[in-house]
Structure formats: structure tokens, C-alpha cells
Structure 1
Amino acid sequence: MASQELDLDELVENLQTHLVTNMNNNIIAKHPNTIFESEDFNSLTEDVLISIIRLDDLLEEDKIWDYVIQWEKAKNPNLPDLNEWTSDNFLTLKTTLKHCLPHIRYFNFSSEQVVKKLYPYQQLFEPKLLTNPIPSNIITDEHALEISSWIDRKVTRYTETTHMNLNYLLEEVKMVESTREIIGGYSQDRFVFLLKTENLKNSIISRATNFNHAILYRSIYLYLQFGNVLSLHGNLKTGKDSFCGTYYYEKQIRSNTSGFLVEELEVFKVSPKK
């Protein structure tokens, strides 16, 4: 009987710990600056820091990176300015952060952020991690990995640049003016997509169901169509003649079928990774 009461007490204690942890995580997720901007942030233990950066949707990932580097430098106050670092200095950093680095979502960095924030610390990483950032103003590395997975018809998204050359990943992407939606298509395998952004939780892919009508291009009339599900007509920046319909593909990628303007257009070539 005493043993049963002890087990029950332990169960209640574990349950209370779980509830408190979840409550704290919810508070941190809603108000991350209360932690990151705190005077006590640099004194956090490693396990607490890891538990924080593992949470989803805290801040932009490059800002989380900045805070992690700040935390590390506080642990090693004798480090010189970055442009004066030696291999030993980088080794010190790598040793201090060895348990933190795997929890950084590098695929969320834009190409500009990779160059600005990660390249100065490239000695911390495996060479393949920072090779060939995506040269795009529209898509992120995460988007590129997702589309690469679609090209290979994988159920789960790639987590690294294992197959496609990320400098030349996809056929065409465009950003819809005012809504900031990112839509595009891959002509070789006949699919179109709407990529996830801050306003869209999950990306949408739609593959052709009728290959006879999957792609139609007439340069003289200035239009390109992926069936009827993505149609680009005329002057993309001045005329609202482009639209997303419903025919010849599995499903719609936009619920709004009215015409739209294209803010920016990028075209890429797909090539196997060498």
C-alpha cells in the first residue's frame, strides 16, 4: 500500500512538471522577447537554451542564430573580434555549441541571410551545408528542398541537398502582387504549386491529370498555361490577365480564380546534383 502511494505521488509530481513545462513553453512561444532580451539570457544553461530554440515559430531563424552566438560569446568572453579568429577560436565555439547547432533550422535562412549570418562561421559546419545557397529573391532553401522532393515524388521533404543542384532547382516561380503568394510550376513533370509563407501553413502541390492539356505555350500571344490551373497571360505586371483555374490538374492551388498581377518572376533550370 505504501509503495502504491509512493508511485501515485511520483505520477502526480511528473504530471505537474509536464504541465508547468508546457505552460512555460506556451508563454515563451507567445512572448519570445521576454527571454531573448532578458538580462539573464546569457546565463541560461545549455539544456534550457536548447529547449527554447527547439520550439516552433519563435522568431525568424536568423535572429535565433544571433542570440545563440551571443550566448556562446558570453560563455567565452576572451574571444577576439570575429575577423581575428583563429582555427582554435572556431574550435572553441564549435565545442560550446555542439549540442545547440543541430537545432538551428538552416533551411529557413534566405540566401542573403546565409551569406551574411552563416558564412562568417562556415568553419563550424560540414562543407556541404553552406554550398550553393539558392540565388532567389522569392524562395527559401526550405522551399527548394520541398520542390526537390516533389520532383523525386518523395512523401517526406528532403532535409539536405542530396539530389538536386540547388542553384538550379525549379522551372518557374512567381510572387502574386498584394497577396505575396508564391506560385509556380515545373513543366517537365507537369505540376504546379503554392508555397507556404507566413500566411499559409502548408504548401499545396497539384499534378496534371490530363497530359494532353497539361502545358500550353504560345509566345506570339504571350501566354503560358499549366492546364487551366495556372495561366499567365500578357504583361504580368500591368494586366490582370493571369489566373488560377480548376481544369486538367488534381486540384486548385488558389481558391480565388480572379485575375492577378505578378510582382516578381524567376525562372530556373533543373539539373542533377553532381
Structure 2
Amino acid sequence: MEENELWDYIILWGKAQNPELPEKISNWTANEFNILKKTIDEFIPHIRFYEIPSDDFCFNIMPYGSMICNDLYQDLSRYHLVSNWQPKFNSLKSRRINLNLSNIPIDSKLINGEQAALISSWIQGNNESKISKKYSKANLEFQLLARGSRDGFTGASFHKMCDNKGPTITIIKLKGEPSILGGYNPINWEINKHGNYEKTSDSFIFSLDKEITLSRVQNYDNAIFQNKNGPNFNDLTLRGTFNSTNGVYYAKYIYDQKIHAKGYFIADEYEVFSIITRKKKIIKSL
């Protein structure tokens, strides 16, 4: 059980012991917070607050901040708001055993779990080539939709497997070189929109070479191009038969960083993953 879930159950249990408390805490008085605090006070020191993700801290912990020791609460707030803040009260040993927060399970022949975690952090807003604590607790899953060696290297097979699946990551291994290129599309791929550009500010392309390069879209209006071929990020495209001559094309146009030399290439392999956000529990009374 995660620490945020444990906190939720303690809060619900404490409220159950005091049925006179109003349902919505926005209506509570200082005395009513004190009643709940006295009920659950013995459990609070055993919560690993520093392991709770920032969004859960905001929605599930902050409303009860008056029940937490002031020094601890102030340090927790700084931990979640200030980059590289070193916690002062993080003395409890983690309940996690051999859990690498910078590793996401992924069914891929092209990238490993650490690279998947890095891509996940980019989706969350990270702009660096490594993962800071702010992005280490990812709640994203990578679900394989298409693989060239399994499903084919054509636009038809791509659209059959990947259309209308929501946000996706495309990974491309170029033939004859170690380069891994890819792109993130936060919207649907849709063959029935053939010939149209899609507007988004959240797409990006990248290179996982010796030097990792992240390139975010600058021209939002033309970020994604819908067509009958493969995934098209404007700068980076899969076309025709991807694993044949001219199957991959790259040139820097509307994304901010150059990720590879300009030219036509052959895809040795490609994979597309659906990006699924795991649902998080939020206390209904908030």
C-alpha cells in the first residue's frame, strides 16, 4: 500500500470515530480539526510523507496541514515546491523494497525501463536529460500497441493498431546506427483526418543516443500531421514502408532542438506505446 493510500484510510477511520464532524472539511472549524487530530495523532508519525506524490500532497495532505507538526509541514511544503530541496525530517525507512522509482516496466525491444521513466518525466514537464525527485514518482504506464517486426512496417498496419488510442509514444531504431529516435503525440492518431495538421503545445520528439536530446514543439499549429502513412511529427516522419529506403525522414523545422542529422533513413524496428495514466484516489469529502 502506498503512503497516500495509508493516509486516506487513516483519515477515513478518524472521521468514522467522530460522526459528528461535517462531511466537507471546507466547513470545519479549528476545533473540529483538533478533534480529528487527537483521534489519529498516534498514527501521524508513522506516515512517510516524503514518499507521497506532489499532487496527492496538494489535494489530500494540505487540507489537513494544521494537524501536522508545523516544522514538518513547512519542510514538506518546501520539498514539494522547491527543486532539489533536502528534507530535514525524512528519517523513516521506506516501506518500499528494491523499488527503483526511475524505472518503468515496458514491453520493448528498443528501450529499457530507465529510458521509459525518462520519457515519462518529459510527458510530465521535465526538460532535463535526467529525472529529478519531482518527476520520479510517475503514474504513467506504457502499453505496446504496434511493433514493426510483429505487425508490419506500413501506414495501414500502424493505423489499424494505433488510431484513436489517445496519447502515444513512437520509438524508432534506425538501421546501421545506434540512434533511437522518437516522438510523443498527446492526441489521437486518426487516418480519417488525412491531410490535416493538429494543434498541440505538448508534443515533443527526442533522440536517445550517447547524448540525449529532447526537442519540444514551437509551432503549435503544425505539431502533428495526420496522414495515411505512419506517425508524422512534422520534423520526424515514418512513410511508405518504414523498413525500406526513405522509410524515415528527419529535418528540423518546428521543434526547438536538432535531434539528428537531416536525411532519409531506414527503420530497423519501430514501436508505438499507448500512454495510460493510472487513476489516483482523492478523498471525496474534499
TM-score range, shorter chain: 0.3 to 0.5
Whose strand proportion is higher, 1 or 2?
2
Higher relative contact order (CA 8 A, sep 6+): 2
Normalising to structure 2: TM-score of the pair? 0.45
Whose helix proportion is higher, 1 or 2?
1
